[in-house]
């Protein structure tokens, strides 16, 4: 029952997941062509890591035109094959019994962390993300120490309370409240490199990221690998914000004057590592539990999630809800105390996560109109008079963070052609799978070529230009725009053939 439960919970839509015992019986019956080994390992508590298989029934046409299941002459002879020969055949077809961790977990053994259940590829990504976040945790703690604001008691977590008529969209703010510049952070400077993050906190962070990774379904595009790719882009753009070469304070300027100018130039983002931490967390969780189909499909199918979120930003709200409740779990109490020390810091953390993740829903007209209005208010010529007010600075910071996330979510379109090709094909496979499974009425291959050209013309290239208008991303904004324009030209020349290649590879692979 335990094995069956794990097979059910780790399966994929439209595929039949079977155990090794079942696979061996099929091989013994001459059905080895029906069996494909699953690449990643399934963990079953009490049994350890298991090699499992996908059932892929081969069919051939009868002379009459009907379809029947094929059984080769070789398979019909298996009944007379010796046990030794059959065992050899099983080993050849099925491979070793377990790919790793052959020993089952003994009864009463200590609880395994979430990371033990994930593939080696995802484990590498988890550790990379942990390293990035630990570095920023040091900055958060160092800033708190320099301000003399040591949290003396645990701040009560904020639990998600979304549901019918009470959703996350209501939490989206026109202006996020970032801290004002405080010279104490430089007069009483604490070097982040001297801050030691306790092993217990690192362990909790690792387990947390692993649990978030486990929320992701095995989609070709909307996967934990994609989330980590988005995180890399967020880190890159944040790095450009934090270290702009064009900021000066004049001859003879003091360190705090330079810091003040840097704070103003970057709308306060450089001064608040908690903001940076929240952006990276947002990247990691933004597609958690993504169903592999657009929100419009969930609404059309009357999915329970669509009803829960009033048919608005369904996947995005679900991602935040699931991940946030894990982040706020009691078992991560030490980690929480490290991230935020006051109620205000916790509320700012959540507000940034909500705003930034909701910004990835570019199809919702209401959210899009709100973002457009914020942009026009923040960067129009009429905004110059109030440009130095705290509210105006925060409004620009809000816009910058939302556009940073939007650009990172589609960063593959603004990187090298090979990177764009890889992720474009993954997205096509995901959309084509929905079509093949009957969840989409329209064949995506029919409009994919022109659709990509329109996506570049009306979203990607204008977005890249906005990064430049923000004025805080340095050479990265020009780099993103250049790659976007180059990829658009390349797609125009090669895209039609590539779509045909995508369709062929889909039908000749295990997509």
Q: Is 11 helix (H, G, I), strand (E, B) or coil?
A: coil
Mapped to the 3 state alphabet, what secondary structure does 165-224 carry? CECHHHHCCCCCCCCCCCCHHHHCCCCHHHCCCCHHHHHHHHHHHHHHHHHCCCCCCCCH
pLDDT-derived band of residue 208, with 50, 70 and 90 as boundaries? very high
Cα(6)–Cα(14) distance, rounded to whole angstroms?
Answer: 17
- Nearest CA to 274 out of 329, 211, 215, 338 is that of 338
296/84: higher pLDDT: 296
pLDDT at residue 470 is higher than 60: yes
The pLDDT value given to residue 110: 37
**String of DSSP letters for 42-105:** EEETTTEEE--EEE---EEE-TTS-EEE---HHHHTGGGS-HHHHHHHHHHHH--S-SS--SPP
Please give the average per-residue pLDDT across 47-73, as a whole number: 52
Please give the average per-residue pLDDT across 145-150, as a whole number: 76
Share of residues in the chain with pLDDT > 70 (%): 72
The pLDDT value given to residue 378: 81
Name residues whose C-beta falls within 8 Å of residue 148's C-beta, 6 or more positions apart in sequence.
Answer: 184, 188
**Longest alpha-carbon distance in the chain:** 93
Domain with CATH 1.10.1300.10 in the chain: 114-149+177-409
pLDDT at residue 185 is higher than 80: no
pLDDT at residue 140 is higher than 50: yes
Cα-based distances in Å from 275 to 233, 267, 347, 400: 16, 12, 11, 12
CB neighbour burial string for 45-65, b if at least 16 within 10 angstroms, e if fewer: eeebbbbbbbeeeeeeeeeee
Cα(344)–Cα(155) distance, rounded to whole angstroms?
Answer: 10
- Taken in order 434, 435, 440, 445, the sign of the CA dihedral is positive
CA 326 from chain center: how many Å? Answer: 15
- Are the beta carbons of 353 and 324 closer than 8 angstroms? yes
- Are the beta carbons of 179 and 268 closer than 8 angstroms? yes
Q: pLDDT by residue (tens digit) across 98-136? A: 444 433 333 333 344 555 656 778 888 999 999 999 999
- Are the beta carbons of 270 and 143 closer than 8 angstroms? no
Q: pLDDT by residue (tens digit) across 341-387? A: 899 999 999 999 999 999 999 999 999 998 888 888 887 755 555 55
Q: Tell me the CATH number for domain 114-149+177-409.
A: 1.10.1300.10
Q: Is 476 helix (H, G, I), strand (E, B) or coil?
A: helix
Cα(511)–Cα(508) distance, rounded to whole angstroms?
Answer: 8
pLDDT-derived band of residue 444, with 50, 70 and 90 as boundaries? very high
pTM of the model: 0.74
């Amino acid at each position: 029952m335990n094995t069956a439960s794990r097979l059910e919970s780790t399966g994929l839509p439209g595929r039949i997941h079977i155990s090794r015992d079942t696979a061996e019986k099929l091989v013994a019956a001459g059905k080895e062509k029906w069996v494909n080994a699953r690449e990643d390992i399934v963990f079953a508590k009490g049994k350890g890591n298991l090699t499992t298989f996908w059932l892929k029934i081969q069919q051939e046409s009868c002379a009459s035109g009907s379809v029947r299941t094929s059984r080769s002459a070789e398979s019909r002879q298996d009944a007379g094959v010796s046990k030794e020969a059959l065992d050899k055949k099983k080993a050849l077809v099925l491979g070793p019994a377990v790919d790793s961790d052959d020993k089952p977990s003994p009864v009463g053994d200590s609880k395994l962390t979430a990371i033990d259940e994930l593939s080696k590829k995802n484990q590498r990504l988890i550790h990379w993300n942990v390293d990035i976040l630990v570095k920023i945790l040091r900055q958060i703690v160092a800033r708190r120490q320099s301000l003399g604001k040591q949290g003396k008691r645990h701040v009560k977590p904020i639990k998600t309370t979304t549901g019918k008529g009470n959703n996350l969209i209501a939490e989206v703010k026109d202006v996020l409240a970032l801290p004002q510049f405080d010279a104490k952070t430089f007069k009483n400077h604490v070097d982040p490199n001297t801050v030691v993050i306790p092993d217990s906190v690192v362990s909790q962070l690792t387990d947390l990221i692993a649990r978030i990774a486990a929320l992701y379904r095995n989609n070709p595009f909307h996967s934990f690998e994609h989330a980590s790719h988005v995180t890399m882009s967020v880190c890159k753009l944040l790095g450009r914000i934090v270290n702009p070469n064009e900021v000066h304070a004049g001859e003879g300027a003091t360190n705090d004057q330079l810091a003040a100018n840097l704070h103003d130039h970057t709308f306060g983002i450089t001064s608040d590592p908690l903001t940076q931490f929240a952006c990276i967390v947002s990247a990691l969780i933004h597609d958690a539990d993504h169903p592999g189909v657009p929100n419009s499909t969930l609404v059309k199918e009357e999915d329970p999630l669509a009803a829960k979120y009033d048919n608005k930003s369904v996947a995005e709200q679900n991602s935040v809800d699931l991940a946030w409740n894990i982040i706020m779990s009691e078992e991560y109490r030490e980690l929480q105390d490290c991230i935020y020390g006051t109620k205000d810091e916790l509320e700012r953390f959540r507000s940034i996560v909500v705003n930034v993740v909701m910004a990835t829903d570019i199809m919702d007209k209401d959210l899009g109109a709100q973002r457009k209005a914020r942009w026009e208010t923040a960067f129009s010529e009429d905004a110059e008079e109030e440009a130095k007010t705290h509210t105006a600075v925060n409004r620009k910071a809000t816009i910058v963070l939302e556009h940073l996330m939007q650009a990172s979510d589609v960063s593959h379109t603004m990187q090298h052609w090979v990177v764009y090709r890889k992720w474009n094909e993954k997205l096509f496979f995901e959309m084509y799978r929905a079509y093949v499974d009957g969840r989409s009425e329209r064949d995506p291959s029919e409009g994919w070529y022109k659709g990509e050209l329109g996506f570049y013309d009306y979203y990607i290239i204008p977005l890249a230009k906005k990064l430049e208008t923000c004025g805080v991303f340095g050479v990265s904004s020009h780099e993103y725009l250049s790659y976007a324009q180059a990829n658009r030209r390349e797609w125009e020349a090669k895209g039609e053939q590539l779509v045909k290649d995508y369709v062929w590879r889909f039908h000749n692979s295990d997509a």
